[in-house]
Amino acid sequence: MVLNANGDNVLLKPLYLKGSYGTGKTHFINQLYQWLDELFPGSIRLTRIKDMKASAELVGDKNNEGMLLEIARKQCADNKRGSVVFIEEPSWLNNDAMVNTAKDVINGNQSSISTEYFSEEFHVDIPPMIIVVTANYSITEGPLASRFDTIAFPEPSGKKLEEYTLALAQKSRYLALKGIKVNQADVQEFIHPTESPLLVQLMTVGAESKKGITNFRDADGFVSHMADKIAKQKRTQKKANPEKVLVELFEKKPLLVSDDDSW
């Protein structure tokens, strides 16, 4: 899938994206997939692998095809040339009982599989793939960690959150259909709720969702679920106390996270 300057195939290490919730890890994977799909239209499959609780599920045996064979099967079934493999928060990375198995799978040579799934052991060539793991913790086993290229995702700054949220709102088809225009002041009220004494009180006694926009996932939720509340706020803000309106917004409909990319 990847060639160097001489046109030779390059075997990429799996990527390990480390960062807390809402820092852009999933967005990175989606953008990577979209970029590859533009380079090879219709040829790349985005495969999401569920967590595996047992070594046999991960490496495979006579009753389990294993992770790599599952990826290859799905890719071949869809007649794709390559795969971007998304593995979210895998418990097996730091599971002492599965570390050796994990090293058998993430072995630095994702080009063939040795499997007993078809009753007898034989080797299967693996189509090109880029494996991307996301987690909010480090891999504790050194040799296993060294088999990944790690990318650390920092917490987003307030300015970046403002820019991202405003751009998201301006591109939203939903808001355009509703005739709602979100400005920077609207965004700032939700990104910096600590400036309001009443919201400070809410944050100390309330649920996590009442903290406002603190990461990129919150920004998605702001645009997709709070826009109608902002519209009502705009119609009444001349008469209403701003702090009272914000408290009402959070109490009636806390920020939610949407998995719908169409927002």
Phi, psi for residue 131 in degrees, rounded to 5: -95, 125
Q: What is the pLDDT of residue 236?
A: 55
Report the first-to-last Cα separation within the chain, whole angstroms.
31
In the predicted structure, residue 263 carries a pLDDT above the cut 50: no
Q: How confident is the model at residue 65 (pLDDT cuts 50, 70, 90)?
A: confident
Spell out the domain ranges in the chain: 15-152, 158-252
Superfamily of domain 15-152: P-loop containing nucleotide triphosphate hydrolases (3.40.50.300)
Give pTM, 2 decimals.
0.69
Q: What is the pLDDT of residue 207?
A: 38
Q: What are 133-155's pLDDT values in tens digits?
A: 999 999 999 999 999 999 999 88
Q: Give the β-pairing of 112-115 and 122-125.
A: antiparallel
Q: What are 4-37's pLDDT values in tens digits?
A: 455 555 567 899 999 988 888 998 999 999 999 9
Helical (H) or strand (E) element with 224 = helix 216-225
Q: What are 95-129's pLDDT values in tens digits?
A: 998 988 888 888 776 666 777 787 666 677 777 88
| Sign of CA pseudo-dihedral 54, 57, 62, 67 | negative
